[in-house]
Amino acid sequence: MKKFIITFFALLGIVTVQGQELDVNLQVRPRFEYRNGYKTLLPEGQEGTSQISQRSRLNFDYKQDQLSLKLSLQNVRTWGDVPPNTLADKNGVAVYEAWAQYDFTEKWSARMGRQTLSYDNQRIMGDVDWAQQGQSHDAITALYHHENQTLNLGLAYNSNAENVLQTPYTVANYKAMQYAWYHNKINENLNLSLLFLNTGYEYANANEKLLVDYKQTFGTYVTYISKKINSNLSVYGQTGKSTDRQVGAWNAALNLAYNITDSFSAGFGYEYLSGTDMDDNSRKLKSFNPIFGTNHAFNGFMDYFYVGNHLNSVGLQDASLKFTYNVQKWQFALIPHVFSAPNKVITPLNEKMDSYLGTEIDLTAGFKFKKDIVLTGGYSQMFGSKTLEFLKAGDAGHTNNWAWLMISVNPRIFSFHKS
């Protein structure tokens, strides 16, 4: 990797001669977190913990005529995960993005390689930027854009390695994926998107034969934004099969915010993610899965739901309010959530539990210190119920809270443009 970077910069002389364009950007993003009941209720007798994680990312953006390329290298670490005199980093340097794009016409382009796939509000497909490692895919995409309409078509096919015989795909990922995303800017205020996603996951049946089951996720996302109103509505369904089980699930969400003044806005939101009753003995999977969504941005910042957890469960209803206040370089937000289970929670004694799961309060603040330096932080607390305690274990009576502080430094360290 070191030799590659040296070679890359050695080519800058060619860049200046041939009139190409190159931008190099650097991001350094350390984040402190205090976790005391984060993601799940703190178990009785246990104590919370603190740590600092960091993402360091170097981005190269290159363009010449109809050809564009991007290379993004990153290192993700926890402060102290290797000693000061280490010979090798624990996680090393990883390729976050590495793609090439060719513009065949003004309307049509094609892109291939490691790339982010992020659409609409990122509920189904997002770059998961909150996670220090982010999320990207090895894929081929066809891109169409004409006036107010955009169409993206993509496909991916994954393997463990360059094999010569059929080999089980053991990576925690899909074996194959295809998608189509259409966006139409109907007018100045109204936007409409349609998404179809087909994901195939490999598994071995009872006879150890490798099979791939495909699940389809499809739906629409609509936004209406004016000077005073910021609103969105989304509806998604899921069908197909998952590990030889039929799938029938759905998700719907509505968010509405009103700008009371230029600085202050208030809004409400509601989201329903279907689940499966705990006494449901059928083979049908009725629990909705956001697939590749940036799930940290939804259902509370403490990540109790759908951030690597709560899948194939009793679903979720999330009713929330959101108050934001912006003044000069400061941004503040207060977001309370009330969670409940839309499907039955049943104890081993066949007793039905209350559907109320808990209330979470999220408070965040941001400060733009300099042009390329932003400070953000927050505090969240979960007031869990006995039902949440039953689903996740832990102690609902304990103080379950989470606090964080992050500094994001994003300078452009090199730029060359020649027409």
> Residue 370 pLDDT more than 50?
yes
Assess contact for 154 and 117: CB atoms under 8 A: yes
Q: In angstroms, rounded to a whole number, what is the distance separating the alpha carbons of residues 404 and 49?
A: 12
Q: In angstroms, rounded to a whole number, what is the distance separating the alpha carbons of residues 137 and 158?
A: 10
SS3 58: strand
Distance (Å) of CA 324 to CA 103, 246, 372, 391: 41, 42, 23, 32
Residues 6+ apart with CB under 8 A from 303: 38, 39, 295, 296, 309
* Domain 2-416, architecture per CATH: Beta Barrel (2.40)
List, for residues 1-31, the tens digit of each pLDDT value: 555 455 455 545 444 445 589 999 999 999 9
Please say whether the dihedral angle defined by the alpha carbons of residues 211, 135, 320 and 251, taken in this order, is positive or negative: negative
For the segment 110-121, the average pLDDT, to the nearest whole number, is 98
Q: Place 417 in a pLDDT band, splitting at 50, 70 and 90.
A: confident
List, for residues 57-105, the tens digit of each pLDDT value: 999 999 999 999 999 999 999 999 999 998 889 999 999 999 999 999 9
Q: In angstroms, rounded to a whole number, what is the distance separating the alpha carbons of residues 23 and 25?
A: 7
pLDDT at position 378: 98
Closest CA to 418 of 137, 17, 126, 113: 17
Helix then strand count (H, E) for the chain reads 3, 20
In terms of phi and psi (left: phi > 0; alpha: psi -120 to 50; beta: otherwise), the region of 19 is left
- Token pair of 294 as six digits: 């940036």
For the segment 283-298, the average pLDDT, to the nearest whole number, is 96
Write down the domain spans for the chain: 2-416
pLDDT at position 19: 58
Q: Place 40 in a pLDDT band, splitting at 50, 70 and 90.
A: very high
Q: pTM of this prediction?
A: 0.92
Closest CA to 280 of 325, 326, 249: 249
pLDDT at position 15: 46
For tokens 């053991």, name the residue: 170
List, for residues 155-199, the tens digit of each pLDDT value: 999 999 999 999 999 999 999 999 999 999 999 999 999 999 999
